[in-house]
Amino acid sequence: MDPTIKINKRVDIITIFYAKSPEKTLCIPKKMKYKGSEITFTTFGMRHPTARGKRMIHIFDMSDGVNDYRLEFDAEGLTWTLISMIEGSYV
């Protein structure tokens, strides 16, 4: 059975910008507010830029050390969406 929990909700994100970093880690999510809780990311999995129609979308796989999260940043709309999560018992 697929342990992925589909969420697809907009979330508040705090990002970190690194001036002297490779492009893939130039800007990464650091914290997320979801359902009244603040989640601090400790592990950066990957960033995958892709196009959705004419929009540039950046997909981030992040972890807080317990759960894994997939986030989507819409570079045109400047919005963050929590796409899905895998709870720690499956990680």
For 60-85, how does the pLDDT look when each residue is reduced to its tens digit (9 = 90+)? Answer: 999 999 999 999 999 999 999 999 99
pTM over 0.95: no
Backbone angles phi, psi at 65, to 5 degrees: 95, -15
- Number of structural domains (the chain) is 1
Q: How many CA atoms lie within 13 A of 25 on its CB side?
A: 8
65 DSSP 8-state letter: S
CA 5, CA 21: separation in Å to the nearest integer? 32
Question: What radius of gyration, in Å, describes the C-alpha atoms of the chain?
Answer: 13
Whether the predicted pLDDT of 10 surpasses 60: yes
Structural domain range at position 15: 4-90
The model's pLDDT over 12-68, given as tens digits with 9 standing for 90+, comes to 999 998 888 776 667 899 999 999 999 999 999 888 888 888 899 999 999 999 999
